[in-house]
Amino acid sequence: MNLNLSLFILFAILAIISSFMVITSANAVHSVLFLILVFCNTSALLLLLGSEFLSLMLIIVYVGAIAVLFLFVVMMLNVKTSSLAINKSSIIPIGFVVFFILFNILSNSIKELDLINSSYLTIKLISWVSETNFVNNIETIGKVLYTNYCLLFLICGIILLVAMIGVIVLTMHQRQDVKKQRIEVQLSRSPGKVVKFISLRS
């Protein structure tokens, strides 16, 4: 077994184990962290297959934005482990139905693409040194994105900025029992009432 196939099998096994830990972890924060690990392993698989743009976009979009948003929501809601016993026998049939549907879709896709008799099974590592003189798909998509769709790209950036500010505002807890210094009230007071003379008895 060569190096590229062994790396592909390693990342695939890690992605499957991490996906299983996402749905079995009792702690919601641990589930989100395992979800980030799933995205990283999937990104490594895409990088091995030569799709570097999808690999980097998976890291930037899903890990850098969506998974972090999940962490913000989980930490903001302060989700704790429920002490109620969950009847797992009612969830297992739903899991089998979902597994059967996904397995049927995957098997039909393999039959249509005829992956067994094709050359897709010969996985090759991408030699980045030999591809420095060629235009890769990141440069091609970048030229199209920053020329023809630059306005839409800027609008998406503004939407993400507004979403980030909204998350920060929602996570800030304002305490009402703390006395705060109000500069405008201190500056607007009457100077005559600042000093008060009290007659003391001797």
**pLDDT per residue as tens digits for the range 153-169:** 889 889 988 988 887 78
Q: Residue 17: its pLDDT value, please?
A: 92
The yes-or-no verdict on residue 122 having pLDDT over 60 is no
Residues ≥6 apart with Cβ < 8 Å to 9? none
According to CATH, the topology of domain 1-81+93-126 is Four Helix Bundle (Hemerythrin (Met), subunit A) (1.20.120)
User: What are the distances in angstroms from CA 117 to CA 120, 121, 123, 198?
Assistant: 8, 9, 14, 101
Query: What are the tens digits of pLDDT across the range 37-78?
Result: 998 999 988 888 877 788 888 888 888 777 777 777 777 776
The yes-or-no verdict on residue 3 having pLDDT over 80 is no
pTM assigned to the model: 0.55
Give the C-alpha separation, 150 to 155, whole Å.
Answer: 9
- Domain-wise residue ranges, the chain: 1-81+93-126, 137-172
